A and B are shown apart, each in its own frame.
Chain A
Amino acid sequence: MNELPGDLLYTSDHEWLRREGDGSVTIGITEHAATALGDLVYVELPEIGQEVESGGEMAVVESVKAASDVYAPVAGSVTAVNEELADDPERINAEPYGDGWIVRMEVGNLDESALMSPDAYQRLLDELDD
C-alpha cells in the first residue's frame, strides 16, 4: 500500500477529506477502502444542494462484489459531485485521492475533532493488518 497523502484528514470509516481553504471540503474513500471493495462498477452520488448530516449516508460505491455506503464525515451542503464517476467508477480504484474524489461540500466551521491525522489513520491501518 502506498504512503498516505499528508495534507488530508481521515475517518475510521476509511474516508478522506481535504480542506479547500474556501470553506469547502472534498471527500473520497481511501485506497484501503477501494482495495477492499475491489473493482468498482457503480457510484450513486447525492444531489447538488443536498444537506447531509455528519455520519449520514452521502453516496454509495458498488464493486463487482458488494455495495458500500459512504458516510459524510462532517455535516454540510453538497456543492459538487464527481460526474466522471458515472461512466468511469474505476477512477476510485486508480486514483482514490485524486481523480477518484466523490463529493465536494460547503461545511462552514469544520469540526476536526472526529477526524484523524495521517499518522493516526496509518496506525489504524497497521492495527487492521495485525
Chain B
Amino acid sequence: MGSKTPHYDRHVEAGARIVDFGGWDMPLHYGSQKEEHHAVRRTAGMFDVSHMTIVDLGGERVRDFLRYLLANDVARLGEPGKALYTCMLQEDGGVVDDLIVYCIADDKYRLVVNAATREKDLAWIRRQAEAFGVHVAERAELAMLAVQGPKARELAAPVIHAEYRDAALALKPFYGLDAGDYFVARTGYTGEDGWEILMPAADAHAVWDRLIAAGVVPCGLGARDTLRLEAGMNLYGSDMDETVSPLESGLAWTVAWEPADRDFIGRAALETQRENTDRRRFVGLVLEDKGVLRNHMKVIVEGVGEGEITSGGFSPTLERSLALARVPAGDYDRAQVEVRRHLLDVRIVRPPFVRHGEACIDV
C-alpha cells in the first residue's frame, strides 16, 4: 500500500480505480476516463493533486536564490501573487524537475514540484539553499485540489472563505492569493480555466463534498494525462528528465536568457547547446490514420533520421491520436510512426492541440 492523500476515502467512496503513482494510491478514473475528460473541457472537473510536493522558501536572499536555482527568472514576477512555470536544471542542462513558483511576498516564495521526484528535489533545493541562508519547509500537511474547466471558478467559489472570494474570482491567469489558511491560484494542467486550491488537510473532505454537491465531476489521473497532452503540456519523466535539456523538450520559452549576467544552474551548458544546429526538435504529432500513438514508439523521418514519442495517446476532444515527440533536426512537416507492424503517417504540428475547449490544429 502506498501513501494516501487526505481525499483518499472520497475516491474509494466514489468508486475510483486506485493505482500506484510514485508511491501514492491515486484514482486512475471513477468509471469513465473519457467522460471525466469531457467534463473538464465542457463544465468542471476536479483532481486530487495533494500528492504533489509543496515547498515554502523564506529568507532575505530567497529571490537571489531562486534566480540561481531556476532557469526562468523570478525577477519577471514583479509583484507578489504572480506565478511562473520553470525548469530546475543540473549543471549539464538536464532537467531535475519542472515546477510552478509563486511569489507570496518579497521574502516568501512557494514551489509546487512533482510527487515522484519529491526526495530528489528536496535534497537538491536544500543543498543549493545553504549558501543563500534560505529556509526550506515542505508543507506536507496541506491538501490540494485542482478544479478545472469553463465553469470551475464559478462552481468552486463557495469553498473559498467569504472575505477572500471576490479577490479569488478577480485573480488573473497565473496569479495566486493567500486566502486565510487556504491558497488559491488560477493555474492548472489541463488547458482550461480554473483554480488550484491548497487547504488544511482537515478541510479536505468538506471541500470535496461541497464541490461534488455543486456539480464538479471527480477526475482521475487518466483524464489528467489526456487533458495535459491535448494542451501540449509536458510531463516530467516522460517528455523530459535529467538526460535532456529544456531546449530539446519544447521548453526553450521557459528559459530566461536575459539579463545575460544572471548566473543560473545549467546556463553555460544551455548556451553551448543553443549554438548547436543539430539540436533535436520537440514537436506535436497528429496521427492521420486510425490507431493510437503510444510512449516510446519510433518516429521515422525519411532521409533525415529517427526520433521517439515521449507522450502519446488518444484525444477524446479531437477523437484522434496525438503525441509529443523528440525528433531529429531538420525542416520537415511529415513523418511516420512505427505502430506494431505498421508504418502510419503523422503530421507534425506545434502544440497545443486543444485550448479552452477548442481545437488549435486542423483535424
In the docked arrangement, what's the CA distance between A42 and B5, Å?
34
Q: Please determine whether A64 and B291 come into contact, CB atoms closer than 8 angstroms.
A: no
B-side contacts of A65, CB under 8 Å: 28, 33, 222
List B227-272 residues whose CB lies under 8 Å from chain A: none
Q: Please determine whether B34 and A64 come into contact, CB atoms closer than 8 angstroms.
A: yes
A48 close to B (CB within 8 Å): no
B313 close to A (CB within 8 Å): yes
Q: Please determine whether A60 and B340 come into contact, CB atoms closer than 8 angstroms.
A: yes
Q: Please determine whether A62 and B222 come into contact, CB atoms closer than 8 angstroms.
A: no
List B276-335 residues whose CB lies under 8 Å from chain A: 290-292, 294, 313-314, 316, 321
Q: Please determine whether B34 and A62 come into contact, CB atoms closer than 8 angstroms.
A: no
Known: A39-B32, A39-B33. A64 touches B222 (CB 8 A): yes
Q: Please determine whether B314 and A42 come into contact, CB atoms closer than 8 angstroms.
A: yes
Q: Please determine whether A64 and B313 come into contact, CB atoms closer than 8 angstroms.
A: yes
A86 close to B (CB within 8 Å): yes
B-side contacts of A86, CB under 8 Å: 290
B29 close to A (CB within 8 Å): yes
B336 close to A (CB within 8 Å): no
Q: Which of B33, B290, B294, B340 contacts A38 (CB 8 A)?
A: B33
Q: A100 CB to closest chain B CB, in angstroms?
A: 16
**Residues 34-75 of chain A, each 1 if its beta carbon lies under 8 Å from chain B, else 0:** 000011011010000000000000001011110100000000
Q: Please determine whether A38 and B222 come into contact, CB atoms closer than 8 angstroms.
A: yes
In the docked arrangement, what's the CA distance between A41 and B320, Å?
9
A-side contacts of B34, CB under 8 Å: 39, 64
**Residues 7-44 of chain B, each 1 if its beta carbon lies under 8 Å from chain A, else 0:** 00000000000000000000011001110010000000
List A102-126 residues whose CB lies under 8 Å from chain B: none
Count the B residues whose beta carbon is within 8 Å of the partner chain — how many?
A: 17
Q: Which of B29, B37, B294, B316 contacts A67 (CB 8 A)?
A: B294
A-side contacts of B28, CB under 8 Å: 65
Interface of B, secondary structure class, is: mixed
A-side contacts of B37, CB under 8 Å: 64
Q: Please determine whether A64 and B340 come into contact, CB atoms closer than 8 angstroms.
A: no
The A/B interface has a contact count, at CB < 8 Å, of 35
B-side contacts of A38, CB under 8 Å: 29, 32-33, 222
A-side contacts of B72, CB under 8 Å: none
CB-based nearest A residue for B340: A60
In the docked arrangement, what's the CA distance between A65 and B311, Å?
12
In the docked arrangement, what's the CA distance between A39 and B37, Å?
12
Q: Which of A44, A64, A67 contacts B33 (CB 8 A)?
A: A64
B190 close to A (CB within 8 Å): no
B226 close to A (CB within 8 Å): yes
A-side contacts of B321, CB under 8 Å: 42
Q: Please determine whether B292 and A41 come into contact, CB atoms closer than 8 angstroms.
A: yes
Q: Which of B32, B33, B226, B291 contacts A42 (CB 8 A)?
A: B291
B-side contacts of A64, CB under 8 Å: 33-34, 37, 222, 226, 313-314, 316
A-side contacts of B226, CB under 8 Å: 64
In the docked arrangement, what's the CA distance between A65 and B19, Å?
13
CB-based nearest A residue for B19: A65
Q: Please determine whether B32 and A67 come into contact, CB atoms closer than 8 angstroms.
A: no
Q: B227 CB to closest chain A CB, in angstroms?
A: 11
Q: Please determine whether A62 and B33 come into contact, CB atoms closer than 8 angstroms.
A: no
B-side contacts of A63, CB under 8 Å: 33
In the docked arrangement, what's the CA distance between A25 and B131, Å?
73
In the docked arrangement, what's the CA distance between A60 and B226, Å?
21
Q: A68 CB to closest chain B CB, in angstroms?
A: 11
Q: Please determine whether B294 and A41 come into contact, CB atoms closer than 8 angstroms.
A: no
Q: Which of B32, B314, B316 contacts A62 (CB 8 A)?
A: B314
Most chain B Cβ neighbours within 10 Å, of A42, A62, A64, A65:
A64
Q: Please determine whether A41 and B340 come into contact, CB atoms closer than 8 angstroms.
A: no
Q: B293 CB to closest chain A CB, in angstroms?
A: 10
- Closest 9 interchain pairs by CB? A39-B34, A41-B314, A62-B292, A64-B33, A42-B292, A64-B314, A38-B33, A65-B222, A39-B33
Instruction: Beyond A39-B32, A65-B33, list 15 extra A-B contacts (CB 8 Å).
Output: A38-B29, A38-B222, A39-B34, A42-B292, A42-B321, A44-B291, A60-B340, A62-B292, A62-B314, A64-B222, A64-B226, A64-B313, A65-B222, A67-B294, A86-B290
Q: 8 A-B pairs, CB-CB below 8 angstroms?
A: A42-B290, A42-B321, A44-B340, A60-B340, A64-B37, A64-B222, A64-B316, A67-B292
- B residues in contact (CB < 8 Å) with A: 28-29, 32-34, 37, 222, 226, 290-292, 294, 313-314, 316, 321, 340
